[in-house]
C-alpha cells in the first residue's frame, strides 16, 4: 500500500508543474501540433467483423493489418489464465482467445492462481511465457467465495444470459466482488507504466475504475465475452447502476455482437438517460467508445491440431470413443456442463428424433464439469444425466446406444479429430457470447465431405453464420432442434460443401489475430498523441486522437489563414473567423477531458525549426 501512496504523491507534484504549462499563451500557427499530426500515420477503422469473402484480396489485406497492429506494451487482466500447454484441455473460450495474444505480443497477463491467499500485497509474480509474462495471483480467500461463486457466477452469470430464475446470492457478495477487483488493481499497479490495460469479462466489470482511482491513467479497455441482456433483465442485478457507471470509466468497451452492443446502449438510455453518438458515450468522466469485436479462431493452428500426434493415453481414449459408433453417422456436442448450454434441451431433441426415426443418429456429448461446488450446477448435472439415461433406456438396444456421454476434458488436437469424425455439430446454447466450438467444428471438417453445423440462433456465432450456412434453431424448442438434426443427417453432399465453404471463408477472413489487432488498434486511439499544451487557451487537460474528429477541419482553416497575404486585411479577417468557428467545433468534444492526467511526450521540432 505504501508504494502506491508514495507513487501517487509524486505524480501529484508532477501534475502541478505540468498544469502550469497549459496556461501559456497560444499562437495561431500551432506549429509543433501540426507537425505532429502530419507525421502521424493514418489509422484504419476497426473491422466490424468477418470480411466479405467475395473480395479476392480481402484476406491478404487483413493479414497485413494484423502485422501492423500497434506496438503496445500491453497488460491483459482476466479472472482465469490459460495453461499455455497445447496438450492440456482449454479451460474456456476466454483462455483460448487470449493465449495466442500473450504468446505473440509480449503482453503481461494477470489473473487468478486459483489458490486462496491472505490478501497481503506482494510484488507481482511475473513468469516468462513465450514472448510475454504471466502473473498468477493468490486472491484473498476471505472474499473469493462471494466474488466468484457468489456475485460473479450466481448473480451476474445467469443475469447476463437472461435466466433470472437461476439467480441467487447474498447482500455480502457484492462487497467481496468489489474488494477482489480492488486487490487485482493494486497488484497491477506494479506494471502501471506499460502502454495500455485490456480487461476481460464479467468478473472484472469495475476494474477499470479501480485502476483509475489508483492514478493509473493509461488507456483501459474492457471486453465482454458473455452476452449483455436487455434493460429489464439487468435491473434485476443488485447494484446494477453502480456497475454500469463504473464500466463507463473504461476508454473502450467491446462486445461480441451487435445485439449485445445495442442492449448495453439501451440500458444506458433506460437507466441513465444517456445517448451515444457514433458509438461514443460522454459522461462527466470523459468519453467511452463502444464497439463490436467478434472473436474468431486460428484456422491454420486448428489444421495443425488435426495433424498433431496425440499422447498414447489420449489417443486410446479418442479411439475408444469412435469405436462406439462403428463407422455410423453421429452428431457431437462439446460444452461445459453449464445450464446456459442447453444440453438438457438437446437431449430432449434427440428423444423426439429417435421416436420418429429410430436408430437414425447417435450423439457424442462431451461435457466437462463446471463449478461443481455450486448447488445449481450439481442439480443441472443430475438433470442432464437422468435425461440421458432415460433416452438410452427408451431407444437403445444391447448393441446400440443413442447417447455417449463423458465429463472428460480433451486437448484441442483430440477435439479436432472428434469434430472431423462427426457428421453433425450440435451447438445449441440458450445464450452464448460467441461459442468458439461452433467455429472449431467448421474448421475441422474435411473439405470434400464436410459435416453440418446445427447452431442456436442465440449464440454469438449466429450473427456471423446465416441460415444459408448453418442450420439455425431456437434452443428452447426440442422439436425444432430435432428437425434440424434430421435435415443435417440427410443433407446432400453438394449442399453440405456449399454451406461449409461459405462459413470457412468467413473463419479464414477474420481470425483470432484479426480480433485482437482490431481491438488493440482501437484501444491505441486512447493513447495521447498530442499534448494539450498545444491548445493553451483551452485549459482542458490532455486529449487524444479519438476525441478529436474535427481536427482536420481546424487544421485546414489554420492553413488557409496562414496562406493569405497579410496585406489583404479583409480576406485575412474572414479567414480568421473561419478558424475561430472551426476551433469552437473542435473544442466541444474536449470539454469533458479535464480530469485526464497524462505524461508529456518528448518535445517535437516544429516546421520553423523551433522546439515544440
Rounded (10°) angle between helices 569-587 and 551-563: 170
Query: Could you say which of 133, 225, 240, 513 is catalytic?
Result: 225
Active site residue 432: yes
C-alpha cell at 219: 488507456
Instruction: Identify the bridge partners of residue 289 per DSSP, sorted by sequence position.
Output: 252, 280
Listed in sequence order, the residues at least 6 apart from 220 whose beta carbon sits closer than 8 Å to its beta carbon are 196, 197, 198, 199, 208, 211, 212, 249, 250, 251, 252, 526
Contact status, residue 557 vs residue 585, Cβ threshold 8 Å: no
DSSP per-residue string spanning 491-505: --HHHHHHHHHHHHH
Query: Could you say which of 432, 505, 514, 524 is catalytic?
Result: 432
How many other β-carbons are positioned within 10 Å of the β-carbon of residue 470?
29
- Consecutive H or E run containing 488: helix 478-489
C-alpha cell at 524: 491505441
Instruction: Identify the bridge partners of residue 197 per DSSP, sorted by sequence position.
Output: 75, 220
Pairing mode, strands 108-112 and 126-129: unpaired
Q: Is 427 helix (H, G, I), strand (E, B) or coil?
A: strand
Listed in sequence order, the residues at least 6 apart from 67 whose beta carbon sits closer than 8 Å to its beta carbon are none
Instruction: Identify the bridge partners of residue 333 per DSSP, sorted by sequence position.
Output: 365
In the 8-state DSSP scheme, what is residue 363?
E
Radius of gyration of the chain (CA): 27
Listed in sequence order, the residues at least 6 apart from 103 whose beta carbon sits closer than 8 Å to its beta carbon are 84, 129, 130, 131, 132
- CA–CA separation, 515 vs 50, rounded Å? 9
Contact status, residue 70 vs residue 563, Cβ threshold 8 Å: no
Question: Which residues are tagged catalytic?
Answer: 225, 432
Amino acid at each position: 500500500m505504501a508504494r502506491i501512496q508514495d507513487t501517487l504523491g509524486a505524480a501529484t507534484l508532477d501534475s502541478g508543474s505540468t498544469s502550469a504549462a497549459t496556461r501559456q499563451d497560444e499562437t495561431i500557427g500551432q506549429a509543433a501540433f501540426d507537425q505532429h499530426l502530419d507525421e502521424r500515420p493514418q489509422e484504419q477503422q476497426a473491422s466490424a467483423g468477418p470480411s466479405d469473402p467475395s473480395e479476392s484480396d480481402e484476406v491478404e489485406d487483413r493479414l497485413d493489418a494484423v502485422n501492423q497492429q500497434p506496438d503496445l506494451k500491453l497488460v491483459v487482466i482476466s479472472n482465469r489464465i490459460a495453461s499455455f500447454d497445447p496438450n492440456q484441455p482449454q479451460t474456456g473460450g476466454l483462455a483460448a482467445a487470449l493465449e495466442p495474444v500473450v504468446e505473440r505480443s509480449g503482453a503481461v497477463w494477470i489473473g487468478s492462481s486459483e489458490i486462496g491467499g491472505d490478501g497481503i500485497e506482494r510484488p507481482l509474480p511475473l513468469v516468462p511465457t513465450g514472448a510475454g509474462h504471466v502473473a498468477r495471483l493468490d486472491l484473498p480467500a476471505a472474499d473469493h467465495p462471494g466474488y466468484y461463486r457468489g456475485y460473479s457466477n450466481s448473480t451476474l452469470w445467469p443475469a447476463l444470459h437472461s435466466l433470472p430464475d437461476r439467480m441467487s446470492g447474498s447482500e455480502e457478495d457484492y462487497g467481496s466482488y468489489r474488494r477482489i477487483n480492488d486487490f487485482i488493481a493494486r497488484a497491477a499497479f506494479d506494471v502501471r507504466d506499460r502502454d495500455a490495460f485490456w480487461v476481460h469479462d464479467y468478473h472484472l466489470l469495475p476494474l477499470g475504475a479501480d485502476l483509475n482511482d489508483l492514478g493509473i491513467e493509461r488507456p483501459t479497455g474492457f471486453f465482454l465475452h458473455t452476452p449483455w441482456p436487455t434493460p429489464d433483465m439487468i435491473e434485476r442485478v443488485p447494484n446494477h447502476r453502480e456497475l454500469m457507471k463504473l464500466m463507463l470509466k473504461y476508454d473502450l468497451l467491446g462486445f461480441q455482437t451487435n445485439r449485445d452492443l445495442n442492449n448495453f446502449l439501451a440500458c444506458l438510455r433506460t437507466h441513465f438517460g444517456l445517448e451515444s453518438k457514433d458509438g461514443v458515450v460522454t459522461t462527466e468522466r470523459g468519453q467511452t467508445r463502444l464497439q463490436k469485436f467478434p472473436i474468431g479462431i486460428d484456422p491454420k493452428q486448428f489444421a495443425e491440431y488435426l495433424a498433431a500426434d496425440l499422447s498414447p493415453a489420449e489417443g486410446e481414449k479418442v479411439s475408444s470413443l469412435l469405436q462406439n459408433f462403428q463407422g455410423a453417422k453421429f452428431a457431437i456436442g462439446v460444452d461445459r456442463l453449464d445450464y446456459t448450454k442447453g444440453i438438457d434441451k438437446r437431449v430432449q431433441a434427440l428423444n423426439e428424433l429417435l421416436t420418429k426415426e429410430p436408430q437414425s443418429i447417435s450423439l457424442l456429448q462431451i461435457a466437462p464439469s463446471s463449478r461443481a461446488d455450486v448447488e445449481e450446477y450439481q442439480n443441472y448435472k443430475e438433470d442432464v444425466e437422468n435425461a440421458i439415461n432415460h433416452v438410452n433406456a427408451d431407444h437403445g438396444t444391447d448393441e446400440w446406444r443413442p447417447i455417449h456421454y463423458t465429463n472428460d476434458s480433451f486437448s484441442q488436437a483430440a477435439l479436432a479429430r472428434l469434430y472431423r469424425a462427426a457428421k453433425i455439430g450440435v451447438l445449441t446454447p440458450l445464450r452464448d457470447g460467441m461459442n468458439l466450438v461452433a467455429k472449431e467444428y467448421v474448421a475441422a471438417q474435411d473439405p470434400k465431405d464436410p459435416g453440418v453445423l446445427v447452431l442456436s440462433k442465440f449464440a454469438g456465432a449466429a450473427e456471423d453464420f446465416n441460415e444459408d450456412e448453418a442450420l439455425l434453431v431456437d434452443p428452447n424448442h426440442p422439436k425444432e432442434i430435432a428437425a434440424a438434426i434430421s435435415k443435417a443427417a440427410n443433407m446432400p453432399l453438394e449442399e453440405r460443401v456449399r454451406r461449409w465453404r461459405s462459413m470457412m471463408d468467413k473463419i479464414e477472413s477474420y481470425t483470432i489475430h484479426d480480433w485482437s489487432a482490431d481491438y488493440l488498434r482501437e484501444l491505441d486511439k486512447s493513447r495521447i498523441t498530442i499534448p494539450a499544451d498545444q491548445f493553451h487557451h483551452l485549459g482542458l487537460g490532455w486529449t487524444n486522437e479519438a476525441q478529436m474528429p474535427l481536427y482536420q477541419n481546424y487544421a485546414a482553416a489554420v492553413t488557409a489563414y496562414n496562406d493569405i497575404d497579410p496585406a489583404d486585411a479583409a480576406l485575412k479577417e474572414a479567414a480568421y473567423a473561419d478558424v475561430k468557428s472551426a476551433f469552437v467545433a473542435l473544442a466541444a468534444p474536449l470539454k469533458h477531458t479535464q480530469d485526464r492526467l497524462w505524461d508529456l511526450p518528448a518535445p517535437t521540432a516544429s516546421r520553423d525549426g523551433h522546439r515544440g
